[in-house]
Amino acid sequence: MSSQIAAADDRAETPNPYNYSRIMQGLVEAFGDREAIVNIERNRRLTFREYHELTNRFAHVLHGPLGLGAGDRYACLLDNDNLSLFHWATAAKALPTCCHGNYRDSLETHLRQVEIVKPKVALIENGLIETHAGPLAERGVQVVCVDPLDEDRDDVMQLPALLAEASTENTDLEIDSQSHIILMRFTGGTTGDSKCAKYTADNILSCSESFLTLPDTNYTAESRMLHIAPVSHGSGMMVQPTMLRGGCTVTMNEPSLELWCQYVEQERITHAFVVPTLAYRLLEMPEAEKYDLSTLETVMYGAAPMSPSKAKLLVERFGPIFMGVYGATEHLAATLALAKAEHAGDEQVEKRLASAGRRNASIELTVCDDDGNPVAAGEIGEFYLRSRATCQGYEGNPEKTAEEFARGYWKSGDVGYVDEDGYCFLVDRKKDLIITGGFNVYATEVEAAINSYPGVMMSAVVGIPHEDWGEAIHAEILLNGQSEVEEQALVAHVKEQIGSVKAPKTVAFVDELPTSAVGKVIRKDVRAKYWKDQSRQIA
């Protein structure tokens, strides 16, 4: 053990000591030769013992060849299979903080995130080397590729070579579970509204406990959890609870539902998490009939509202395996849940399916007015959430931290009410946020990309109703009359700037936009005409 680790292991300096190496050692003793991590595309299969040794090696690489210590950060710009190998288990065994980015975000987005977290090292996919190595090096970031290179490069270190020389011994590091920041990950937009949530070990353990206390998740040593959504985001919340029960995490990189069906049969998958958009497609896909999906026991959905009518069809088609889960980056927990049994049954099922479920154990949900005062039961207000899973605020953004956190609560920005049976209904959102197919998109970022295109004077971006995605990104655009603008070229420009997820799905060129006295576009007036006949309203 290095002197740096030994110093951090001083109990006198660690008021809330936590040693994840010993937790993992216990899992090895219980489940050592069972599969813990499976990476489908690269055909990697690690037992609990092998996964423990790999993450030990990586922790020693962080402290040794990469020279990272307490207070340092390293970024992970990795696809699902590689990220699952170096998820929070390694970070909990080491001194530096791990910062997750979305591998599929644009270079511009990644560089903005680097400016916020200021990592000394970035682990990247080999496919990003040509675009990212130079700009990262210019910012003083050491680039490390996670797979071997065909030819060595002076500006890129290769992780396999570093791991081969590292010890498999436990770091036996004690960190403060209440204050040491293990993990950071981004939420929301990347300009102006860019926010990077910070987590301690206790935050992440609380997240795991929240999934294990749900009555319907049924994690066991036989569980095999398939991740089609990015592990860097909501799907990653389910890695740790699977592991703590001795189950296996199975990841896929290609977001293909056809492949998902194949992998369910191939890997005998029991558990999965999908956004509603993907769940809907299962109703129409021939692959859902071609492959045997009967091993599925629990399919959690979240990140966007589920259509009650389609939820009923899913249960009719695949059986009572679906459950709704509501969580958030800032409140890293299965906060609300709609149980499997609540998706079918009596005449109240339609009403229940329109809710986000009921509160999970140990979660405080308080509905508050604009001044932060609790409202009476059944009245509409903003959801304030508090538990051990509430994150430690936003890195480098004290203004947003002060604005959104108070007395241990996170002010969710979701507006709704709780009925007499404890079901929580979301009816509105305070924040100018569009949730489309499970992804959070800020209108300001999309508008900035649109407005940068020649011929555009200004734009208004809103979420409009969509049966599959909950909301679709729609742009109304006022041109300057100086040049012609072709819709497909404009959308392609936006995709290049900020990624395909955030590009508008529909575009309308208009003669005027509603503006305030100071010339600011009034988005709610644009949005209103699309939502006026909808039962669910977005302000």
Distance of CA 179 to the CA centre of its chain: 22
Q: CATH number of the domain at 435-531, please?
A: 3.30.300.30
Distance CA 402, CA 407 (A): 10
Rounded to two decimals, the pTM is: 0.80
Which H helix or E strand runs over 367?
A: strand 364-368
What interhelical angle do 48-63 and 20-31 show, nearest 10? Answer: 160
Could you state, in order of their start, the residue ranges of all structural domains in the chain? 3-32+47-200, 361-429, 435-531
pLDDT, residue 447, reads: 83
pLDDT, residue 11, reads: 47
Distance CA 415, CA 401 (A): 19
pLDDT, residue 451, reads: 82
Contact, 181 vs 200, CB < 8 A?
Answer: yes
Domains 3-32+47-200 and 361-429 are alike in CATH topology: no
pLDDT, residue 449, reads: 85
Q: What is the mean pLDDT of each run of 10 residues along the chain (539 residues)?
A: 44 81 96 95 94 96 97 96 87 95 90 96 96 97 96 95 97 94 78 77 96 93 95 91 97 92 97 85 88 97 74 90 94 95 78 89 94 93 96 95 95 90 80 77 80 84 87 90 88 91 93 65 83 61
Q: Is 361 exposed, middle or buried (0-12, 13-18, 19+ CB in 10 A)?
A: exposed
Distance CA 58, CA 63 (A): 9
Distance CA 129, CA 133 (A): 5
Please choose, from the candidates 507, 506, 538, 508, the residue with its C-alpha nearest in 3D space to the C-alpha of residue 523. Answer: 538
pLDDT, residue 189, reads: 44
User: So what's the architecture of 3-32+47-200 in CATH?
Assistant: 3-Layer(aba) Sandwich (3.40)
Other CB atoms within 10 Å distance of the CB of residue 513: 17
Three state DSSP letters for 484-510: CCCHHHHHHHHHHHHCHHHCCCEEEEE
Contact, 283 vs 314, CB < 8 A?
Answer: yes
Please choose, from the candidates 133, 115, 116, the residue with its C-alpha nearest in 3D space to the C-alpha of residue 124. Answer: 133
Domain 361-429 has what CATH class?
mainly beta
